Amino acid sequence: MNTTEKMNVGVIGCGQISSIYLEAPRTFDILNIAACADLDMERARAQAQRFAIPKACSVEELLADPEIDVILNLTIPNVHAEVGIAALEAGKSVYSEKPLAIDRLQGQKFLHMAHQKQLRVGCAPDTFLGGGIQTCLQLIQEGQIGEPIAATAFMLGHGPESWHPDPYFFYQPGAGPMFDMGPYYLTALIALIGPVRRISGTTRITFSERTITSQARYGTKITVNTPTHVTGLMDFASGAIGTIITSFDVWHHHLPRIEIYGTEGTLSVPDPNTFGGPVSLRSAQEKEWRDIPLTHDYTKNSRGIGLADMAYAMRSGTPHRASGAMAFHVLDIMQTIHESSQEGRHIELSSTCDKPAPLQPGLHPWGA
């Protein structure tokens, strides 16, 4: 089999994030965007014209097109599972934006359908495949910080209503700071340390109402229906202990994005919502932090690398890295943090996933 033969991709959802994905075939030869669709046909047509995509059509037409192998699902979170399941039913593998689904039950149905149909599910984020986090992974594997014993991950701010044009959904169930931003931090931690075994969490809503101060809806009030300060403790299967805080309630702080604490030193991991650095490390004996040059490529915004990796894996029959199983594990962790807070107890997770295999340094490390 030709392992680099192009994969025909049909895009569903032509909103804000679609542009960066539609540039991905310039970097990843294996991808061919064959068609795009949206509930809003104007958006689909506009993106088709801008990126020279041969066909803009309805979702039904896209799913019925026998030439399309993979659906790239860039719709909004509460329809990710529904659109994904429809694509699987039409016989197509799916790569979805995050989160995989907005709850565990939907996520389970999605993966169950993929298993029944023997098709692939991949899911964002794919930032862990960027040069920054892959460099961190290499450092850990080389033993540069010894055995990882603990990690912290912090995403704190005062919410998106000051800059996002339509921030209503951020304050509804299935969103909040954990479901919106948690996937970047949790996926990075799983890539670096492995899966999580047990969770405890504490959450609160600090402000019951938000006032939009971005322009279009300036002054509109939003009733807050989901926790906005979410703290989780994670026992990793490896024995390491993780602490994560995601918050829309904090004005200012001095906390790092992600740090990994090892028996021999500490690793400072870059913002997991980016592909590059900086990476720095300080071993037990060192007096100062040391900046580490990145060992891996894909340091610019390379959204689509996870889809390209899935396409190569489909051609060669190997596992893909940004897997549905890992995205489900992330979803399970996020939901369980909220449930632990409600129930006042530690909760053992029933899901797990494989730690994704590291990329080799260099461009097109798949051997294209």
In the structure encoding, which two tokens stand for residue 59, read together? Answer: 């979702």
Interface positions, 214-233, toward ligand NAD (CB under 6 A): none
Q: Which is nearer to ligand NAD, 100 or 337 (CB)?
A: 100
* Interface pick for ligand NAD out of 15, 146, 358, 361 (rule CB under 6 A): 15
Closest residue by Cα to residue 269 from 149, 178, 156, 153: 153
Q: Tell me, residue by residue from 257 to 296, as one string, x for binding to ligand NAD by CB under 6 A and - for no binding.
A: ----------------------------------------
E runs forming strands in the chain: 7-12, 31-37, 56-57, 70-73, 93-96, 121-123, 148-156, 196-204, 209-211, 221-223, 229-236, 241-247, 258-262, 265-269, 279-283, 290-292, 347-348
By CB under 6 A, residue 71 contacts ligand NAD: no
Q: Which residues pair with 231 in a beta bridge?
A: 202, 245
By CB under 6 A, residue 60 contacts ligand NAD: no
Q: Which residues pair with 199 in a beta bridge?
A: 234, 347
Q: Which is nearer to ligand NAD, 72 or 140 (CB)?
A: 72
Interface positions, 21-40, toward ligand NAD (CB under 6 A): 38-40
Q: Which is nearer to ligand NAD, 236 or 309 (CB)?
A: 309
Q: Which residues pair with 121 in a beta bridge?
A: 94
Q: Which is nearer to ligand NAD, 24 or 140 (CB)?
A: 24
Q: Which stretch binds ligand NAD (CB under 6 A): 76-84, 129-137, 276-284, 306-314?
A: 76-84
Minimal distance, residue 363 CB to ligand NAD, in Å: 24
Q: Which is nearer to ligand NAD, 40 or 286 (CB)?
A: 40
Query: Buried b / exposed e across 298-325, counting CB within 10 Å, b at 16+?
Result: bbeebbbbbbbbbbbbbbeeeebbbbbb
Strand duo 93-96 + 70-73: pairing: parallel
Minimal distance, residue 112 CB to ligand NAD, in Å: 20
Minimal distance, residue 38 CB to ligand NAD, in Å: 5
In the structure encoding, which two tokens stand for residue 129, read together? Answer: 């495949």
Strand duo 196-204 + 279-283: pairing: unpaired
* Interface pick for ligand NAD out of 11, 12, 191, 234 (rule CB under 6 A): 12
Q: Which stretch binds ligand NAD (CB under 6 A): 12-20, 87-95, 110-118, 247-255?
A: 12-20
Residue nearest to ligand NAD (CB): 15
By CB under 6 A, residue 17 contacts ligand NAD: yes
Q: Which residues neighbour 208 within 8 Å (Cβ) at sequence distance 6 or greater? A: 223, 224
By CB under 6 A, residue 359 contacts ligand NAD: no
Q: Which is nearer to ligand NAD, 12 or 191 (CB)?
A: 12
Cα separation, 86 vs 92, whole angstroms? 9
Geometric angle at alpha carbon 231, from 252 and 337, rounded to 5°: 150
Interface positions, 82-141, toward ligand NAD (CB under 6 A): 83, 97-98
Size of the site for ligand NAD (CB under 6 A): 19
* Interface pick for ligand NAD out of 34, 47, 57, 75 (rule CB under 6 A): 75
The CA distances from residue 78 to 81, 249, 323, 357, in Å, are: 7, 24, 19, 30
Minimal distance, residue 291 CB to ligand NAD, in Å: 27
Minimal distance, residue 163 CB to ligand NAD, in Å: 11
By CB under 6 A, residue 16 contacts ligand NAD: yes
In the structure encoding, which two tokens stand for residue 156, read together? Answer: 């704190």
Q: Which stretch binds ligand NAD (CB under 6 A): 11-19, 147-155, 254-262, 332-340?
A: 11-19
Which string of DSSP letters, residue by residue, matches 28-64?
-TTEEEEEEE-SSHHHHHHHHHHTT-S-EE-HHHHHH
Q: Binding residues for ligand NAD, per CB under 6 A?
A: 12-17, 38-40, 43, 59, 74-77, 79, 83, 97-98
